[in-house]
């Protein structure tokens, strides 16, 4: 009688141990996965904390109480570049009064902002985070449909998380942030704005292609 030899071609009845590996989520190469972001965010929080004592004027020199504004804007750049700008702006009574004493009929504010940019198909190809601080000069152009229309301009500094973005190499993490905008005040607290923003290193290092954006925003004063 021939010995029985197991046939590997036929299924066996013993249970094979199944190995199941839980899928591991790996976040994309974005700001949240980069260690320097923690330092940047800490810096902007610290700046927000010291902004009031640094910009505050003596009580006897303040004509009015300084105004704070929270600003949110949709940002559109070249091609498929889109983004979000979140900013806090504080009017400086000291500098406003100083310029008004010298014939400037406007206001001076200081703005700190965080800018989130995306580029590519479905905005997932390339991402960047930009932190910026800028003085802003604003003055009135008069009234349109019984609402005040203002113009603003300013030149500030910004810190880019990535120097290569949207197919451009801007060379340096530190860039100047130039702005020119129109503000339409809906009420004493609410306003909408249209701004042109330009980022470049002013030619300190090549290449310096610059980045241009149009921002449509809403602001709330408090």
* 141-186 pLDDT, tens digit each: 999 999 999 999 999 999 999 999 998 999 999 999 999 999 999 9
pTM for the full predicted model: 0.72
Phi then psi for 20, rounded to 5 degrees?
-120, 120
Query: How many helical (H) and strand (E) elements, i.e. helices and strands, does the chain have?
Result: 2, 10
Q: Which two tokens stand for residue 18?
A: 């199944």
The CATH number of 70-221 is 2.40.160.20
pLDDT at 138: 96
Residue ranges per domain, the chain?
Answer: 70-221
Extract the tokens encoding 33: 């996965």
Say what the alpha-carbon torsion angle 33, 34, 40, 41 is, to the nearest 10 degrees: 10
What value does the mean pLDDT take over residues 52-58? 43
Name the least confident of 4-8, 104-108, 141-145, 184-188.
4-8
**Distance in angstroms (rounded) separating the CA atoms of residues 138 and 90:** 12
For a pLDDT cut of 70, what percent of the chain falls above it? 69
Q: Residue 133 and residue 111: Cα distance in Å, rounded? A: 6
pLDDT value of position 15: 45
Query: Taking 70 as the threshold, does the pLDDT of residue 106 lie above it?
Result: yes
Q: Provide the pLDDT for residue 63.
A: 39
Give the closest residue to 131 by CA, choosing from 97, 161, 93: 161
């Amino acid at each position: 009688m021939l010995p029985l030899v197991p046939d590997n071609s036929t299924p066996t009845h013993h249970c094979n141990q199944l190995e199941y590996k839980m899928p591991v989520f790996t976040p994309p190469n974005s700001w949240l996965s980069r260690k320097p972001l923690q330092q940047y965010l800490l810096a902007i929080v610290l700046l927000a904390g010291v902004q009031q004592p640094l910009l505050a004027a003596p009580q006897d020199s303040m004509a009015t109480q300084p105004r704070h504004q929270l600003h949110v804007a949709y940002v559109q750049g070249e091609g498929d570049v889109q983004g979000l700008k979140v900013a806090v702006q504080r009017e400086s009574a000291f500098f406003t009064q100083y310029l008004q004493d010298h014939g400037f009929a406007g206001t001076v504010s200081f703005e700190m902002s965080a800018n989130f940019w995306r580029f590519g198909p479905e905005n997932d190809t390339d991402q960047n985070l930009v932190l910026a601080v800028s003085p802003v000069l604003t003055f009135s152009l008069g009234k349109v449909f019984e609402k005040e229309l203002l113009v603003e301009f300013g030149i500030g500094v910004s810190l880019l998380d990535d120097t290569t973005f949207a197919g451009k190499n801007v060379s340096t993490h530190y860039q100047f942030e130039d702005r020119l905008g129109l503000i339409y005040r809906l009420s004493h607290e609410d306003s909408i704005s249209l701004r042109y923003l330009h980022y470049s290193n002013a030619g300190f290092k090549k290449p310096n292609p610059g980045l241009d954006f149009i921002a449509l925003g809403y602001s709330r004063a408090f």
